[in-house]
Amino acid sequence: MRLGWRLTGIKPELIVQIVVLVILLAIPFAAGYFTRDYVSRKRRAEARRWREYTEPDWLSAHAPANTNEITNAGAAVVTTGELGQMLNRWESRARARRTGTG
């Protein structure tokens, strides 16, 4: 008894043609993604030039990603929205429950 399966009635040339067809279809498909990315980057760069975009202070490549240290004094003053205020209240209440003051 032979392990494996046989392709009965299918010529090897047909299999090669199918593989080549798939490869030929994959190339423009991938090229479309790269082209879309290139055009999007170009469009965003142009939009930044029109808006006179400047990179924010907190967005710098050399800043540590995950730290509790404040790199500059201006970063400590952050205006929070409704969600930030709600989270601050929640954290202060949780802190009060843990310490027993409240």
**What pLDDT tens digit does each residue of the chain (102 aa) get?**
455 556 567 788 889 999 999 999 999 999 999 999 999 999 988 887 777 767 777 666 665 556 665 556 555 555 667 888 888 888 888 888 888 775
* Any domain includes 31: yes
User: What is the DSSP code (8-state) at residue 75?
Assistant: G
pTM (predicted TM-score): 0.34
* Any domain includes 15: yes
* Any domain includes 3: no
* Any domain includes 39: yes
Q: How far is CA 21 from CA 25, 51, 73, 85, in A?
A: 6, 46, 60, 58
User: What is the DSSP code (8-state) at residue 37?
Assistant: H
* Any domain includes 43: yes
Structural domain span for residue 34 = 9-56
Measured on CA atoms in the order 7, 9, 12, 17, is the torsion positive or negative?
negative
The domain tally of the chain equals 1
